[in-house]
Amino acid sequence: MHYITAGESHGPVLTTIVSGVPVGLKISETQINTDLARRQGGYGRGGRQTIETDKVKILSGMRFGKSIGSPIALQIENKDWKNWSQTMALMGAAPKDLVRELTPRPGHADLVGALKYGADDCRNILERASARETAARVAAAGIAREFLADLGVEVFSYVVRIGSVQLAEDQPMLAAPDYKPLDIEMSEVRCPDKKTSEAMKAAIDEAREAGESLGGVFRVVVTGLLPGLGDYTTPTKRLNGQLGSALFSIPAIKGVEFGIGFEAASQLGSQVHDPIAVNKKTGFTRESNNAGGLEGGMTTGMPLIATVAMKPIPTLAQPLQTVNMDTLEAEEASTERSDICAVPACAVVAESEVAFVLANAYLEKFGSDTMLDIKAAIKAYKQRVRTMSR
């Protein structure tokens, strides 16, 4: 399964095409819209989210609610386009009164993108570098999520840190899979603890008042996975690499850990590795999950847990110093309407990226033509793995 996205932040639409979807998969626009709404949410988001109500339109590759094997095109309208149709006109000459963006924001793609492409207006860069594009990714990955859900795999996320406010967790690798999705969804910062959620919101308020922005850390958790997805035989087939690459492709992501991650580097081997045991019903299992569900670049069958760090949004109400690209004089960076904190939204985007990689790992292992064949192959594999553990 592959996807490509097209669309500028203030263009008419965001489009995505997903190819390689197996035949017979039920896909619902309502389900994808739920994820699009989750991506738009979160305390600390900017004015744009009051303009948009992202809704997907599926335009091909389906019949009577199920996939038919051909590429699936999806589209999301940018309601803000009506305010930008002159500045972002796709055709014709530039308006005479066009204001060019010449004061690149430190931390954004503005300057380096303009240098790379020889642009005399940072808008040519920032329109596509904007995280608005992630709405199309969430729509595309909605298909991967439906596929995984049909196979009993659930993907969710929760926020563990915003700025310096940290969720207290005793043994996160064991606790994470047991958080209640409702507690997470009810929190405006996607944090399962009420008190911590309030402290996170207060930190966002403080940042807003100071003209600042805030980053944070979240976890993506996947349950219901089979062991043996991914492969150790070929470097590019290792799931750690594929998942890391997908997560780092999200704007503003600065760090990714699997399981206890960096902490493993300072502990003894006997404390890090997860003892193997057998459960009579489910087969081989682990007594702990420090590996976060991955060994040898493959899933172990334990919950997959990735911890991801996001930097603060680069657009600041109290801007940093920059250099005007025309005059080469020092100036303040441009300020636009922006988010104060987009960590909860980013967690939803990360769920989507992870879902896409895992859906592909299933297709690679169990075939990719039809849901019927895939399910039959999974049944046989489950049986064999169970027999091996008797």
Q: Which residues contribute to the site for ligand EPS (CB under 6 A)?
A: 9, 46, 48, 80, 130-132, 134-135, 313, 336-339, 342
* Smallest gap from residue 286 Cβ to ligand EPS (A): 37
Residue (58 or 129) nearer to ligand EPS, CB? 129
* Smallest gap from residue 28 Cβ to ligand EPS (A): 22
* Smallest gap from residue 48 Cβ to ligand EPS (A): 3
Residue (3 or 366) nearer to ligand EPS, CB? 3
Residue (48 or 201) nearer to ligand EPS, CB? 48
Tokens of 154: 């659930």
Cβ–Cβ < 8 Å for 106, 320: yes
Residue (217 or 225) nearer to ligand EPS, CB? 217
* Smallest gap from residue 52 Cβ to ligand EPS (A): 7
Residue (331 or 336) nearer to ligand EPS, CB? 336
Q: Kindly provide the b/e burial profile for residues 114-124, where b requires at least 16 CB atoms within 10 angstroms of the residue's own CB.
A: beeeebebbbb
* Smallest gap from residue 148 Cβ to ligand EPS (A): 24
* Smallest gap from residue 9 Cβ to ligand EPS (A): 5
HSE, side-chain direction, 13 A CA sphere, residue 359: 30
* Smallest gap from residue 62 Cβ to ligand EPS (A): 26
List 299's β-bridge partners, or say none.
Answer: 294
* Smallest gap from residue 339 Cβ to ligand EPS (A): 5
Which residues, at least 6 apart from 28, have a Cβ–Cβ distance to it below 8 Å? 65, 146
* Smallest gap from residue 132 Cβ to ligand EPS (A): 4
Cβ–Cβ < 8 Å for 82, 311: no
- SS3 per residue for the chain: CEEEEECCCCCCEEEEEEECCCECCECCHHHHHHHHHHHHCCCCCCCHHHHCCCCEEECCCEECCEECCCCEEEEEECHHHHHCCCCCCCCCCCCCCCCCCCCCCCCCCHHHHHHHHCCCCCHHHHHHHCHHHHHHHHHHHHHHHHHHHHCCCEEEEEEEEECCEECCCCCHHHHHHHCCHHHHHHCCCCCCCHHHHHHHHHHHHHHHHCCCCCCEEEEEEEECCCCCCECCCCHHHCHHHHHHHHHHCCCCEEEEEECCHHHHHHCCHHHHCCCEEEECCCEEEECCCCCCCEECCEECCCCEEEEEEECCCCCCCCCCEEECCCCCCEEECCCCCCCCCCHHHHHHHHHHHHHHHHHHHHHHHHCCCEHHHHHHHHHHHHHHHHHHCC
Residue (17 or 135) nearer to ligand EPS, CB? 135
Residue (80 or 331) nearer to ligand EPS, CB? 80
Residue (130 or 360) nearer to ligand EPS, CB? 130
Distance in angstroms (rounded) separating the CA atoms of residues 6 and 242: 22
Residue (135 or 144) nearer to ligand EPS, CB? 135
Residue (122 or 313) nearer to ligand EPS, CB? 313
* Smallest gap from residue 220 Cβ to ligand EPS (A): 18
CA 223 to chain centre: 17
Residue (49 or 240) nearer to ligand EPS, CB? 49
* Smallest gap from residue 251 Cβ to ligand EPS (A): 6
